[in-house]
Amino acid sequence: MKIRETEEIGKRLKELRDNLHLSQAYVAEQIGVSRSALVKMENNQRKVSSEELLLLARIYGVTTDYILEGDANLQNEAKHLARSYQELTEADREEIRNIIKFKKRLRKRLDEKDNQ
């Protein structure tokens, strides 16, 4: 693996965690490492073990390949979803927006609970 690709692993780990609004403490606990160890992974100062990689992929809902290599297919999927969204009725779009709002609020509450 090239140095540039290795640097991207930490960046993807941080982006995935941030996108899901998960705290470093929560993710670290879930994979059995200290918060500082997770910070080092996200800053490319510590390698990710294969076991940690599997756990992180499960938590973030992505493949290990995505964490290691990124995924151009993700952009294609986003484009497909956008096209599908445009084909929906306004009522269906509103329902999807409400689901997203609900999921964000739920994630925020879970994060707050984890940080107490």
Pick the CATH number of 1-70 from 1.20.1260.10, 1.10.260.40, 2.40.128.130, 3.40.640.10: 1.10.260.40
- For the chain, the domains span 1-70, 72-116
Give tens-digit pLDDT for 74-101: 666 777 778 888 889 999 999 999 999 9
- Read off the pLDDT of residues 33-74 as tens digits, 9 standing for 90 and up: 999 999 999 999 999 999 999 999 999 988 898 898 887 566
pLDDT in tens, 4-35: 456 789 999 999 999 888 999 999 999 999 99
**In whole angstroms, what separates CA 95 from the centre of its chain?**
23
What pTM does this model have? 0.60
